[in-house]
Amino acid sequence: MNIPKWCVRYPVTTMVGVILALLFGGISLSRIPVQMKPTIDRPVITVETKYKGAAPLEVEEEVTEPTEQKLTSVEGLTKMTSKSEEGRSKVILEFDWGTDKDVARLDVSEKMGLVRDLPDDTDRPTIRAVNSDAEDSIAWIVINTSRPINEVRVVADNVFRPKLERVPGVGAVFMFGGEDREVRITLDYQAMNARGITVKALREALLRENQNTKGGKIDEGKRRYVIRTVGNFTQLDQLRNTIIDRLPAGPVYLRDIAKVQFDYEDPTRRVRVSTKPTLAFSVRRRTGANTIEVMAKLKETMKEINRIYDGRDIKLRQVYDETDYIYQSRGLVINNIYIGGALAVGVLLLFLGSVSSVVVIAIAIPVAMISTFIFIFLLGRSINIISLAGLAFAVGMVVDNSIVVLENIFRHREMGKDRWQAAVDGGVEVWGAVLASTLTTLAVFLPVIFVQDETGQLFRDIAIAISVAVGLSLIVSISVVPMLSSRMLRRSDEESLLSRLISLTGIYWLGRVFRDRFVALIEWLMKGVVFRLFVASAVTAGSIFLAWHFFPPIDYLPKGNRNLLFIFLRTPPGLNLDQMDKIMGQLEGRLKRVKEADRFFAVVRPVNPLLGLIAKKEYSDQESMRKLVRKLFGVIQGFPGIRGFVTQVSLFRRRGSGFIGGINLQVDVTGDSLEEIQRIAGEVAEKSRRLPGVRFVNSSFDLGNPELQVHVDREKAADLGLSVTELGDIVETLVNGTQAGIFRDQGKELDIVLRDSKEKFTRTQELSQITVYTPDGRSVQLGDIAEIRQALGPTKIEHIDRDRSVKLTVNLSDTLPLQVAIERMRREVVDPIRAKLPLGYSVEVGGRAKDLERTWDALKWSFLLALVITYLLMASLFEAWSYPFIIMFSVPLASTGGVLAISFMNSIESSVKMDTLAMLGFIILTGIVVNNAILLVHQALNHSRGGMPMREAILESVRDRMRPIFMTMTTTVLGMLPLVVSSGSGSELYRGLGSAVLGGLATSTIFTLLLIPVVFSLWVDFQEKLMPASAAPGLRGGENGHPGEAGLSWGGNGAGA
């Protein structure tokens, strides 16, 4: 089917198709979810088990190890890590990329069902499939109030949080600050001893009485009744009147030996915003939800809550809004699209000198771009920084095909043809070339499918945006452009006013002179076989050498430029909450004097406290944020025993690295003995701190947590009728409290806790003075039957694949490339220490280093695969093996330009790096830069088929195709230029990629016009000497050695031009 001819004949139908494409594109755009970055679905499952009051060693032995033992055999598991902390075990399971998380979660649940030997007072394990994209908070909301925080927490938990959770698109709402309510049973030990009731017997009685039981069914007439015995506690009087034991003197009620009341759990953390105590909500969106829509509805809900509680000293206030960054980054990209489009149109006006011609080409931009949203919607993708950047890059590319077609139509008009015939012939003649160019651009994205990790998922959004837009531009170029040209182009003897004005400037004359001189230069370069071999070899080898010499160190993922910073503090082990509160209060006082701070918040806790700071908008540019980071490092200095580091929150997080993501290097030390692991980790940390570019080294392990260990004299205890377990229960109940079931209060589950007065123990010596009552009614102090020893224990125990480990997080300078840091770490720290390690211990650089190495290997193979696919595709289109080989000479030239462009931009702006997104630019280049060579070779073959000698055909093809080649290069480069030179929110994600494509395209265009004719002429000479009978090579050899008419001449009329 002759598409250009059909569209020229049926213009109304063609325009109806355009209108429908724009209409459905607009509808699709309104329904595509908007978010900050593409959804990255890591196959990670977590298993969390709470074991209240247990030390890390007990958690490790009694909970973590049995859990790990059963989970080792889960199918598809690639790595298993765990954390055993005070009162909590967390096992993290990482699976192969592409694993179905629902299936993996089911497998994990089945394996956890086999874990039978967990302690009785552990909570039911919580199994969760983690989505890293949904792990980021889109909003932080605080409650402004002067009321007691615990009092407000009840309302916040029962009213505010459910309302926020019901907002469409909200996945989870977490609350921080205040303490949960509990039912506290304060024991009277003298009364218990007088009645011979032990803590164990009391707990068992409460558990026994606090449960519902099933009773079967009864059929009566037409009805069936389900029978159940109701025993759950729902009122405090039910608890108070519970019979614990029956004595000869009568029943013993709980009220006789204890006081029952509602109370609050002991505080474990405090939250403040700008020094004021508060409750905070962290809101996370559901995967795939539109962040902007979710935020709008969230704000409506907040307004409604504030309206209802107006005048009650309770008000919700949002302190962090992720959509601010989305609006800024989206606005920057959209502005760059407008600027790039305007520059491309301006260049077209300059080249063509015709407003009508420019209008014909400019239509390709909105049609292709808006229609792209249809496919983004159908493929279930989102509008984000990456996909918008892809569309921005495509602005200059979508006009390429239209330029080639229109320029050829324009040339046919100059040959004297009428508008209708010129539109048809011009479109048909270059149809094969634009098809080949488009297919090579699309084909290079095929290898991206095989990159399954985090970067591969990022690549897909930009690959879809560019490939769909370019593919649609092909359809526009062979349908809409010929149709409009047949009605809008002037006759060849007509000259527009704009064209006459441009001619007066001498630009056209300079262009013709440049073209003639350039062709003359190529003709000179085509003299002599040896000289041409030297030129081709020198240019190719030189470009490869320059790319190798200037290739910058590689990095993983850009961290973005959010105006949110965190200050992580490492404090001496054993500080209590009140002491930590004093330290944090002093730090908050210092932060109040930081002029760049818009607001800040503090999470006060005994272990790993942190401060967060949101910078003012006027200080949110990249350089100001760097200065602020350095300034905050000075703020946290001067506190004895406290170390800390400041980091800007990254857009991309790795499981286990918290918010700090891509600016850290992780070193894992594994082995058996905690003391030996700590020694090795200490040596690694000490040497790491001396490396250039290292700002801070944080260890996940500290063997300095103060403990009071109760060592029971078993003989003495046995003589009194007591076991070690019973003594442990008594100590836990008196000091920390023992859980004795669940109390249901208005739909909420509260812990029932047995304990003594919480103010009783204020000094360590009082522990030995605890009175212990024996089963026969005697009393003895704990110190008489046990020795109280002070010792040091771990704050946290981590495992990697069931081996004990210590994770060292090495915080790096923003300007230090990850590859350089990895090489230094291995050369100067890891390798020397590894050489003298005891048997069974290891030191490995992990985390982002492993990610980078895996991704780099995948991208290298993807690049090679892109080369192979491009070559094979061109071989199929040309129906020849030689012409694609000639065309592929343009690839090393482009790679050199891309490397030099990134190196140059990095010298100006350190945030532009050779990261994994920039590496994608070189894969994209492979499909783009061959297009110019395809045009040259295709046009030369057209002239050859018309009877022109091949040497003259090559020179004529350069003369014919120089203008469209420079037009497409200039429009593409100028379309991308605003993205590369503009800095702002989100630009760090795509400036490296844009620099690679822009630099590679600009340099390859010049050298392609020089090198391809030289290599092509060499091949022609080689063919003529070996096969004289085929001195005029065509696209496909026909009978008697004559060229055929297949290949890229599909639908053509064979006319040379």
Q: Is 90 exceeded by the pLDDT of residue 849?
A: no
Domain count, the chain: 5
Inside any domain, residue 248 = no
Of 790, 916, 1036, 1002, nearest in space to 451 by CA? 916
> Which comes out higher in pLDDT, residue 343 or 681?
681
Banded model confidence at residue 201, pLDDT cuts 50, 70, 90? confident
The CATH number linked to 758 is 3.30.2090.10
**CA–CA separation, 764 and 601 (whole Å):** 33
Do 924 and 1018 fall into the same domain?
Answer: yes
The b-or-e profile of 793-809 (16+ CB within 10 A means b, else e) is: bbbbbbbbebbbbbbbb
Residue range 238-266, pLDDT digits in tens? 999 999 988 888 899 999 999 999 988 88
The b-or-e profile of 700-721 (16+ CB within 10 A means b, else e) is: bbbbebeeeebebeeeebeebe
* Tokens representing residue 627 in the block: 């200065």
Q: Specify the pairing of strand 748-755 against strand 181-187.
A: parallel
Which DSSP state fits 844?
E
Cβ neighbors of 375 (< 8 A, separation 6 or more) are 464, 468
Do 718 and 746 fall into the same domain?
Answer: yes
Which DSSP state fits 62?
I
Do 473 and 368 fall into the same domain?
Answer: yes
Do 696 and 715 fall into the same domain?
Answer: no
What pLDDT score was predicted for residue 65?
93
Residue range 990-1021, pLDDT digits in tens? 888 888 888 888 888 887 788 888 888 888 77
Inside any domain, residue 618 = no
Enclosing domain of residue 85: 43-130
Banded model confidence at residue 507, pLDDT cuts 50, 70, 90? low
Portion of the chain with pLDDT greater than 90, in percent: 13
Residue range 22-74, pLDDT digits in tens? 999 999 988 888 888 787 777 889 999 988 878 889 999 999 999 999 999 89
Do 670 and 814 fall into the same domain?
Answer: yes
Cβ neighbors of 446 (< 8 A, separation 6 or more) are 865, 866, 869
Q: What spatial distance separates the first Cα and last Cα of the chain, rounded to whole Å?
A: 23
Inside any domain, residue 471 = yes
Picking from 109, 130, 151, the residue at the C-terminal end of a domain is 130
**CA–CA separation, 353 and 346 (whole Å):** 10
Question: Which of 2-16, 692-706, 882-896 reaches the highest mean pLDDT?
Answer: 2-16
Do 485 and 364 fall into the same domain?
Answer: yes
> Which comes out higher in pLDDT, residue 850 or 353?
850
Average the pLDDT over 77-84 and give the result: 92
Angle of the 991-1026 helix axis to the 890-908 helix axis, nearest 10:
160
What pLDDT score was predicted for residue 192?
85
Tally of CB atoms within 10 A around 549: 11
The b-or-e profile of 1027-1056 (16+ CB within 10 A means b, else e) is: eeeeebbbbeeeeeeebeebbbbebbeeeb
What pLDDT score was predicted for residue 373?
93
Q: Is 90 exceeded by the pLDDT of residue 304?
A: yes
* 341, β-bridge pairs: none
3-state helix/strand/coil string of 8-51: HHCHHHHHHHHHHHHHHHHHHHHHCCECCCCCCCCCEEEEEEEC
Q: Is 680 helix (H, G, I), strand (E, B) or coil?
A: helix
Contact criterion met (CB below 8 Å) for 184 and 753: yes
Contact criterion met (CB below 8 Å) for 1053 and 424: no
What pLDDT score was predicted for residue 135?
60
**CA–CA separation, 1021 and 1028 (whole Å):** 10
**CA–CA separation, 410 and 296 (whole Å):** 51
What pLDDT score was predicted for residue 865?
86
Tally of CB atoms within 10 A around 310: 10
Of 241, 266, 245, nearest in space to 254 by CA? 241
Q: Is 257 helix (H, G, I), strand (E, B) or coil?
A: helix
Do 712 and 789 fall into the same domain?
Answer: yes
* 262, β-bridge pairs: 183
Inside any domain, residue 1016 = yes
Residue range 434-443, pLDDT digits in tens? 887 788 788 8
Q: Is 593 helix (H, G, I), strand (E, B) or coil?
A: coil
Average the pLDDT over 769-797 and give the result: 82
Inside any domain, residue 276 = no
Residue range 147-158, pLDDT digits in tens? 888 888 888 988
The CATH number linked to 871 is 1.20.1640.10
Do 903 and 841 fall into the same domain?
Answer: no
Q: Is 885 helix (H, G, I), strand (E, B) or coil?
A: helix
Of the listed ranges 449-458, 758-767, 838-847, 1031-1040, the one predicted with least confidence: 1031-1040
Average the pLDDT over 890-896 and give the result: 83
Angle at 528 between CA 523 and CA 533, to 5 degrees: 95
Average the pLDDT over 328-354 and give the result: 79
Q: Is 80 exceeded by the pLDDT of residue 236?
A: yes
**CA–CA separation, 610 and 571 (whole Å):** 11
Task: Sort 922 into a burial class: Cβ within 10 Å, 0-12 / 13-18 / 19+.
Answer: buried
Q: Is 50 exceeded by the pLDDT of residue 1043?
A: no
Inside any domain, residue 1043 = no
Tally of CB atoms within 10 A around 661: 21
Do 965 and 872 fall into the same domain?
Answer: yes
Q: Is 50 exceeded by the pLDDT of residue 659?
A: no
Task: Sort 260 into a burial class: Cβ within 10 Å, 0-12 / 13-18 / 19+.
Answer: buried
Inside any domain, residue 967 = yes
What pLDDT score was predicted for residue 499?
60
Average pLDDT over the chain, rounded to an integer:
82
> Which comes out higher in pLDDT, residue 663 or 104?
104
What pLDDT score was predicted for residue 195?
85
Angle at 348 between CA 342 and CA 349, to 5 degrees: 90
Inside any domain, residue 871 = yes
Q: Is 90 exceeded by the pLDDT of residue 708?
A: no
Q: Is 601 helix (H, G, I), strand (E, B) or coil?
A: strand
Do 836 and 944 fall into the same domain?
Answer: no
Radius of gyration of the chain (CA): 37
Do 387 and 399 fall into the same domain?
Answer: yes
DSSP string, 268-331: --EEEETTEE--EEEEEEPTT--HHHHHHHHHHHHHHHHHHTTTTT-EEEEEEEHHHHHHHHHH
Residue range 86-105, pLDDT digits in tens? 889 999 999 887 788 888 88
Average the pLDDT over 762-773 and give the result: 76
Contact criterion met (CB below 8 Å) for 314 and 145: yes
- The CA–CA distances, whole Å, from 314 to 145, 277, 383, 626, 843 equal 5, 13, 37, 37, 52
Angle of the 991-1026 helix axis to the 385-414 helix axis, nearest 10:
40
Do 722 and 696 fall into the same domain?
Answer: no
Q: Is 90 exceeded by the pLDDT of residue 20?
A: yes
Of 1030, 1056, 1028, nearest in space to 1044 by CA? 1030
Residue range 627-657, pLDDT digits in tens? 888 888 888 887 777 777 788 887 776 544 4
**H/E element, 128:** strand 126-130
The CATH number linked to 684 is 3.30.70.1440
Q: Which residue reads 């480069």 in tokens?
A: 973
Average the pLDDT over 372-389 and give the result: 87
Q: Is 127 helix (H, G, I), strand (E, B) or coil?
A: strand
The HSE-up count of residue 906 (CA atoms within 13 Å, CB side) is 23
Q: Is 60 exceeded by the pLDDT of residue 469?
A: yes
Q: Specify the pairing of strand 694-699 against strand 664-671.
A: unpaired
Angle at 805 between CA 801 and CA 810, to 5 degrees: 115
